Amino acid sequence: MLSGNIIIGPLRRVVSYHDAFGWGGTLAFLSHQLVGYPREITGQPKGIPQPVHVRVGTSDAHLYYKILLRDEYALNLPFTPRTIVDAGANIGLTSIYYAQQYPRARVISVEAEATNFAILSRNVSSYPGIVPIHAALWKSDGLICVSERSSDSGKWGFITHEGAGAKVRAITMQTLMHELNIESIDLLKVDIEGAEIELFDGREWVDKVQALAIELHDRFRPGCSAAVNAAMSGFSASEHADLMLYLRAGLRFGTSMEEGTS
């Protein structure tokens, strides 16, 4: 659930657009900085059947590069997942990546922030296996606030919290699974900017997960790693790029197994 407006150094931003989109992307970014146009560009990496919409002047280009061009979420799973939940799906890049990697999978793409979700819906509209859900995974059902949080280096992401602010539907993992008739989750990807504490507060659903790929946010909210580690105590853990990976006991990354159990 990253912000579309994360601030990084000007030179690094230019480089990120060149890395992702070549000189056309670089010129689009510079033009946006000067005159505010274009607000959006599209890219189509090899193997991706439809153009991907990316907002100029945001973190989208950096994520596009990491996820669709550099395969940050290539996990070498020991099975072929049939049910994937992408929690904190942002503009849908990871959902698209997994839809291409596992064309028989059903991908549940959950995003809380409204502007992110609008782009996500457009990006995944041609993928029948991706189901976009506008909601925040939380410890209880109801409504929750979504706000943009800033640090000394700029705006770093949207967070969900109790109190005042723009409201979005909050649902537990159990409710999500019940409403979408999910019996088990083969792969759960989580990037929810510190709300992992609330998500993993209720652990009943963890027994129905085979593999978890999660970005932890202790740097913003201490206690995230502790909450996840406690919930995933029966899983083996390893690091992969900026992610922590958890795999059900008895399974190993890079080994073969029958297809996912969902």
Task: Give which of 135, 125, 151 is closest to 8, Cα–Cα.
Answer: 151
Would you place residue 1 in the very low, low, confident or very high pLDDT band (cuts 50, 70, 90)? low
Task: Give which of 108, 218, 106 is closest to 171, Cα–Cα.
Answer: 108
Please give the CATH topology (third level) of the domain spanning 71-248: Rossmann fold (3.40.50)
Cα 145 to Cα 132: distance, rounded to the nearest angstrom? 19
Residue 262 has pLDDT above 90, yes or no: no
Determine the distance from the C-alpha atom of residue 250 to the mean position of all C-alpha atoms in its chain, rounded to a whole number. Answer: 26
Would you place residue 2 in the very low, low, confident or very high pLDDT band (cuts 50, 70, 90)? low
Per the structure block, which two tokens stand in for 37? 């146009």
Give the model confidence (pLDDT) of 224-253 as tens digits: 999 999 999 999 999 988 899 999 988 887
pLDDT of residue 258: 43
The DSSP string of 42-110 is EE--TT--S-EEEETTSSHHHHHIIIIIS-TT----SS--SEEEEES-TTSHHHHHHHHH-TT-EEEEE
As a whole number, the mean pLDDT across the chain is 89
Task: Give which of 189, 16, 7, 175 is closest to 105, Cα–Cα.
Answer: 189
pTM across the whole model: 0.90
CB atoms within 10 A of CB 54: 28
CB atoms within 10 A of CB 257: 14
Would you place residue 53 in the very low, low, confident or very high pLDDT band (cuts 50, 70, 90)? very high
The DSSP string of 192-221 is -TTTHHHHTTS-GGGGGEEEEEE---TTTS
Residue 197 has pLDDT above 50, yes or no: yes
Task: Give which of 182, 169, 174 is closest to 136, Cα–Cα.
Answer: 169
pLDDT of residue 154: 37
Give the model confidence (pLDDT) of 9-36 as tens digits: 678 888 889 999 999 999 999 999 999 9
Give the model confidence (pLDDT) of 106-152 as tens digits: 999 999 999 999 999 999 999 999 999 999 999 999 999 998 865 43
Compute the average pLDDT of residues 196-205.
92
Structural contact between residues 248 and 171, judged by C-beta atoms closer than 8 angstroms: no
Give the model confidence (pLDDT) of 58-95 as tens digits: 889 999 999 999 999 999 899 999 999 999 999 999 99
Cα 130 to Cα 151: distance, rounded to the nearest angstrom? 33
> How would you classify the pairing of strands 166-171 and 235-240?
unpaired
Give the model confidence (pLDDT) of 139-190 as tens digits: 999 999 998 865 433 344 678 888 877 899 999 999 999 999 999 999 999 9
pLDDT of residue 256: 43
